[in-house]
Structure formats: structure tokens, C-alpha cells
Amino acid sequence: MTYQETITYLYNSAPLFQNIGQGAYKEGLSNTHALDEHFSHPHRKFRTLHVAGTNGKGSCSHTLAAVLQSAGYKVGLYTSPHLVDFRERIRVNGQMISQQFVIDFVEQHRAFFEPLHPSFFELTTAMAFHYFAEQQIDVAVIEVGLGGRLDCTNIISPDLALITNISFDHVGFLGDTLGKIAHEKAGIIKPHTPIIIGEHNDETRPVFTNEATAKQAPIIFAQETPMIVSKGGDANYDIYQTQPYSNLQVALRGYCQEKNVNTLLHAIGELQRIGYHISEEAIRNGFAQVCPLTGLMGRWQQLSDSPRLICDTGHNIGGFQYIVPQILAQPCRQLRIVFGMVNDKDINAVLALMPKHATYYFTQASVARALPSHELQALAAKHSLHGTTYSTVSEATRAALTEADNDDFIYVGGSSFIVADLLAAWNNS
């Protein structure tokens, strides 16, 4: 098979959550353990860090990988979903897994895994761990796919676990209260293993405390010890004054990143305490060069300067609580928003936050879970948000760019898959 034929086979034979949602979710770890046994437990051949949370886990995972790469470690990075190329999910020192490895993995092992009927994520996780072992990496940063307790990444025994925050997302799987969601995320806490909690509240803190106590795991609540003194910026970076480091240049500029930076500084300090050799120079380089070092895309990413066009993968109420104030802070003549969501999110809660004075371009991503643009338009009208519908993200974005003056501001988002379609079209053009 060619690479494209292999990817098509994977999408068609293993349910892909980003396309179909709940039908792709398989509860339990039986398939994961079977695959792990088949590949001789590859995750035991390298050190790991485990990152969970509702929002921010992708940014934190990539930044940790960038810092560790800068410190001289050979670093595996496993994240999801991908935006343009499947291979974005599996990287070593920023380089995507080779097309040939993907082809060989499927051809050599399909006779074993086909009778299991694994989910796409189960199969991809096995591929990642097998690849990392073959590449003889030093450490892998592993991002949880969904939840934590029953996520197939949860077979690892990490040196450190990190939970960024808890917000309402995937409530059909994880629970309809913050406490229930926290319980699922807390499932990554391992015996005697340090756990960093980025953000908490009165409902989630006891959940984390109880789980850490039961596992005798040292726990750090990052927000209780703020490390950030102040934040400024220049044309290229946000610049933080922090307790450990002055003038820390941070390339990721979303408002939500301030919470992530505080969480990451605690996590890096704990890694140093348990024996990782990470210099100040490596920390500074990792924060400043996270995108070129790891290939990270879609986090308040600027694609055009005149008019200014920004895309962001934020996709739930927790994310938009940060995104909307940042949108409103952008100086512009007219605000234009290219917007789409998937059908299993709390759409009305997000729409209630969105700016009412903007011109909207309602659209839908090229996945089955996408909410049809006309349905989104109807829901938005109930929140006094008005605009035109477009059948593709590319058409909606072209319309916004055509109608915009140079001093307008265009935001594209609402879903990771909206950004994925935008970047694919942008790269092709």
C-alpha cells in the first residue's frame, strides 16, 4: 500500500473519534493491553511524562517536549488530534513519524490487530509506543486522548503527571459535573509519582487530593503558588517576569497561556528535582521556540497580517472564556469571525459568549461530527449573532478576506477541525 492508501485503510477500518464521535469510543483497556503485549511492552523501554486536562494539554505537552529537546534529550511526543497530516500525532525531536513506518506497521501487524477491532486511537497509541521504542528515545511526552482513567495511554508509568485544568467537555463520556470529570482525569495519578494540578476549584481539589493521598503521590497545586509576577510583550513574544526567570520569552500568545506557563514552570521545577538535567538556557529556548521545535500549530496562530487573520483550536466553554476577551482586545475597524463547531459540544454556552457586533461567516468542518452551518446560524441568531452560511471553511475564509479592509480583524475557530480545514487549504494555496 502507498502511504495515502494506508491512512485511508486506518480511517476506514478503525473508528476515528474526530470524525464520528461516540461511536469510535471504546471503554476499557483490554485492546490496549493486547496490543501492548503483542509489541512486547514498548512503553517500558523509555521514560514518560503524562499530560491530561480539558484545555491546554496540547500546548503544555509541546512546550515540555521543546524544553526537554533543548536540554539534549531525545524526545518522543504523542498528541491528538492532528490538523493536517496524521503523522503530526507522533514525533521524535519534532520530526514526524515516517510514512514508511506507518505503512510497514499496518502491513506487518494487521493480521494481529484486525480481529481485535481496535479504535483508531488504540491503534495509533500502539504505533506511537512501538515507534518510540524503535527510535530509542530518552523520554516521551504523552498527551491523554480522552479523560484519563480509561484512556489507552494510561498503561504508562510516568516520571511525572500533569493535569492542566477541568472544564465541561465530553460530558457524555466523563460525567456531567466538574467533580466527575476530575475523577476521570485523576485516573492518571500513579503511586508515588508527582502530580501537578494546573488549575482547580472547590469541587475538583478534593478529588485530586483524595486520589493523590490514596496513591501516596506528591501533589502540587500550581495556582496556589503563582510564579508569574507580570507579563508584557513585543512583536514576537509575550514576555513574562517570573520568580525563577526574568524576561522569559513565550511564543504561545493566547490569554490561556498565562495559566499554562505557571503550570509548566512548576512541572519543570519538579522534573529538575527528580533528576532531569534541564538548564535555564534550555527552558528559555523551549518556551521561545516551541513551534519550530515541535511543529505545534493552531494556537492563536497568525496567517495573515493585512488584514490580520488568527486561527485557534479552542473548542469548548473553558477555552472560549479566554478566547473571547482576547478577540475583543484586538484593535480593528470591523471584527469578522469564521465559525463552526461540532455537534457534541455545549454550543449555546459558547455562542452566549461570542461578540454580538461581529460579522459572522458560519461554516462546517469536513468531519461527520460537524454541526451543519445552517443549524449553527439558527442557534446563533437566538444569541443575536448574525451572518452568512458557507459549506466549507475555505469558502467562508475567502469570503471574509474578500470583504475585509486591511485594518479588519478575522478570527477563524470554534473547533480544532475548523482550523484543520483552514490550514490544509492555506497550505495548498
pTM here? 0.92
Q: For the segment 349-396, what is each residue's pLDDT rounded down to a tens digit?
A: 999 999 999 999 999 999 988 999 999 999 999 999 999 999 999 999
Q: Give all domains of the chain, ordered by start, each with its CATH number.
A: 3-294 (3.40.1190.10), 301-428 (3.90.190.20)
Q: How confident is the model at residue 170 (pLDDT cuts 50, 70, 90)?
A: very low
Torsion of CA 66, 72, 76, 78, to 10 degrees: -10
Bridge partners (DSSP) of residue 387 are 360
Q: Which residues of 1-40 are buried (b: 16+ CB within 10 A; e: fewer)?
A: eeeeebbeebeeebbbbbbebeebbbeebebbebbbeebe
DSSP output for 74-143: -EEEE-S--SS-GGGGEEETTEEPPHHHHHHHHHHHHHHHGGG---HHHHHHHHHHHHHHHTT-SEEEEE
Q: How confident is the model at residue 20 (pLDDT cuts 50, 70, 90)?
A: very low
Q: What's residue 304's pLDDT?
A: 94
Q: What's residue 21's pLDDT?
A: 45
Q: What's 229-273 look like in SS3?
A: EEEEECCCCEEEEECCCCCEEECCCCCCHHHHHHHHHHHHHHHHH
Q: What's residue 344's pLDDT?
A: 82
Query: Is the predicted pLDDT of residue 90 greater than 70, yes or no?
Result: yes
Q: What's residue 429's pLDDT?
A: 77
Q: What's residue 17's pLDDT?
A: 41
Q: For the segment 29-66, what is each residue's pLDDT rounded down to a tens digit?
A: 899 999 999 999 999 999 999 999 988 999 999 999 99
Query: Is the predicted pLDDT of residue 27 greater than 70, yes or no?
Result: no
Distance of CA 368 to CAs 20, 316, 323, Å? 6, 18, 25
- Decide which of 185 and 170 is more confident: 185
Q: For the segment 311-321, what is each residue's pLDDT rounded down to a tens digit?
A: 999 988 988 99
Q: What's residue 19's pLDDT?
A: 45
Give burial (CB, 10 Å; 0-12/13-18/19+) of 335. middle
Q: For the segment 238-271, what is each residue's pLDDT rounded down to a tens digit?
A: 999 999 999 999 999 988 899 999 999 999 999 9
Q: What's residue 256's pLDDT?
A: 87
